[in-house]
Chains A and B, each alone.
Chain A
């Protein structure tokens, strides 16, 4: 039987992508970095690629009996609570919460330090069979840096990014891992055994349906985890922002009505040919 896995998913929270975002001046808690207008009022979701990582973790742990999934999330406590209400019904996990900023403007270096320090202290976590999951890029910073640095801090130098698939080979012969590379292609590598870091892209699993029973089981650990959440010290050095702005004004859209398809096609072909 394959060795049970300990899967830790790092997943932050981000503003719902349907919201309009506007940069704003720093707030009192983090004077060195910009913020978002009405940041605390914006509805949040689990970072989408991290959510894929969580679904993949649940799927993999279900295939290897005895495995366990933790979700480590750094964000303002009140927002974490709101997001957990919805995500709890999707997959079984034990929450490990860290109270701190979820802003895209905080430094990945500082976020990684807080995450690694917390993971090191998870009771019962066997780092010899650890798979550290997360999204390959966040929807906030979009850097793809945090997981790598958490891995380095935990001494894990088998790392994969843009992962779309992990498949256990028969008879404990390791895992085949597929990572996105340029031009719509994948690179396939063989990992002989954990520990490893996997930054997930979309994967191939659909979003799981809500399961109220899973939700109830998760909630038993979620509330205590939120109460226990320690505040992360994240006000260290980071980048200095010389400017932060929304992209330049929108285009003047020319709306073309009642033009026959042949004529539209001629116009498009001419446009395609322009340098």
Chain B
């Protein structure tokens, strides 16, 4: 049986984030000797899971506060070596996704990112992950160790239980010299902050919002106002089709709060939300592969032959999205 290291980075306040607790619960479910390895400026001992049989190792200090390849890789490598674990579970955050495959190479092991499932298969751990942008799902195992697995956020229920770790062993790491200085986080202004990973609903806008409507005219300003109000009222997360996002990128300020970060699909994001509502979007395959992890799907489109009609949505309303959104905003006011 594999010995497992749950490798996490702490949040700014020294606590563990939700993705870390998800990786922990995946590890506990798998069973086996467990170590918790932490990287960050500080570790809030009282907030850690109280798991008496679990060894807790930590690399801390100012150089490890912010995400940066050289320092994060050194810290992760040291923790993996100190733990001696053969299987390493680490949350698939942007911070860990940037470094852990590189760390696997240093350890002579292998890494798999975007795991959506983890279970024993003939007594050995096996992961589920998608290939070809969410088109083909595979279950795979590996003989090589150590094996670093990064589960995607939202695939496991976060660990819940008593907190207050008994003891933390500090693992000394000399910060490596680096030519990279972490500077800052840039976030869109509050009224343009339309990506909300924890939202219950993903609202997708397609290029139809910018096309000529029944009266022969384009109503881009109306579209922007309707969508903006809907997002305010529903607190949904905003996604866009590539066609709409590209229009915005070409300087046509179609939706001032839409950037390519909002794009869903083949060359965009594949977010995880319980529900999704698509409007004025044709539902072509390169777009819909980004909906793989949206459980319930509804669409509003004028065209009864759009892609959503072909088994891609649960409900397709053949209607004018301008009219529907106006009514939705009235009801949600």
Contacts and interface: CB of A to CB of B under 8 A. Distances in A.
Contacts of A247: 134-135, 137, 292
A104 interface: yes
A206 B250 contact: yes
A243 interface: yes
Contacts of B312: 250-251, 253
A242 B297 contact: no
B310 A253 contact: yes
B186 A178 contact: yes
Contacts of A264: 300, 317, 319, 324, 327
B72 to A, nearest CB: 10
B102 A159 contact: yes
A209 interface: no
Contacts of A18: 284-286
B139 A253 contact: no
B311 A252 contact: yes
Interface in B14-33: none
Contacts of A159: 69, 98-99, 102
A160 to B, nearest CB: 7
A107 B140 CA distance: 12
Interface residues of B, number: 102
Nearest to A257: B318
Contacts of B138: 23, 34, 105, 241-245
Interface residues of A, number: 90
Nearest to B267: A48
Contacts of A249: 311
Interface of A: 14-15, 17-18, 20-21, 23, 34, 36, 48-49, 104-105, 107-109, 112, 139-146, 148-149, 151-153, 157-162, 164, 174, 176, 178-193, 196, 202, 204, 206, 237-247, 249-259, 261-262, 264-266, 268-269, 271-272
Interface of B: 67-70, 73, 93-95, 97-99, 101-102, 104-106, 110-114, 121, 126, 130-144, 176, 178-188, 193-197, 200-201, 234, 246, 249-250, 259-263, 266-268, 275, 277, 284-286, 289, 292, 296-298, 300, 304, 308-320, 323-324, 326-328, 330-332
17 contacts: A20-B285, A36-B132, A139-B267, A142-B130, A142-B131, A142-B133, A148-B101, A149-B102, A184-B188, A189-B180, A238-B142, A240-B141, A241-B140, A246-B136, A253-B316, A264-B327, A271-B296
In the A-B complex, the 6 residue pairs with the smallest Cβ-Cβ separation, listed nearest first, are: A250-B311, A184-B195, A265-B327, A145-B101, A148-B102, A261-B323
